[in-house]
Amino acid sequence: MTDISNKFVVVTITQQEARVWATGIAKGAKPEKIYAPAGLNSHHFRDDPKMKGRGDGPGVPAYYEEIVAAIGSAGQILLMGHGNGKARSMVHFAMYLERKHPELAKKVVDTVDTNLFGITQPEILAMARDWFDTHTRLGV
């Protein structure tokens, strides 16, 4: 993977895959893709009826740790994904960072709730550029 030390990185995350834009957010930039383990795509993570709440089913921590390894040296991280419903992997990942990697969680500058299945990669990059331009201009 490209050296991302102290760079602005965009991460989209779903139950099936994460995409990491570590080389920039210019038009045509290509993400690194990290795929969830087979069987994780299901909406049914709980195998044990005694489990309370959603829990981290088999494979979830390994998937998240692979994403963590890819973005660990980033300076700023913009997370994008579904923020509502059962498919809110972005929210679960942000909570995982807060619990397991609090220093990395501090680098998350924002979470953007968007329907990743309804937009293209160029549209994702355009949203990221707009976010970056707005927050850089405002000094946020």
Q: Is residue 2 part of a domain?
A: no
> What pLDDT does residue 65 have?
97
Q: How many other β-carbons are positioned within 10 Å of the β-carbon of residue 34?
A: 18
Report whether 75 contacts 5 (CB < 8 A). yes
Q: Is residue 47 part of a domain?
A: yes
Q: Is residue 1 part of a domain?
A: no
Q: pLDDT, tens digit, for every residue of 71-103?
A: 999 999 999 998 776 668 999 999 999 999 999
Q: For every one of its 140 residues, what pLDDT tens digit does the chain have, with 9 covering 90 and above?
A: 567 787 899 999 999 999 999 888 888 899 999 999 876 554 444 444 443 444 455 579 999 999 999 999 999 999 999 877 666 899 999 999 999 999 999 999 999 999 999 999 999 999 999 999 998 766 65
Q: Please give the residue range of the domain that contains residue 32.
A: 8-138
Q: Is residue 37 part of a domain?
A: yes
Reported pTM? 0.82
Q: Is residue 3 part of a domain?
A: no
Token pair, residue 3, equals 């050296």
Q: Is residue 119 part of a domain?
A: yes
How many domains does one find in the chain?
A: 1
For residue 47, CA distances in Å to 15, 20, 63 come to 17, 30, 18
Give me the CATH number covering residue 127: 3.30.420.60
Q: Is residue 113 part of a domain?
A: yes
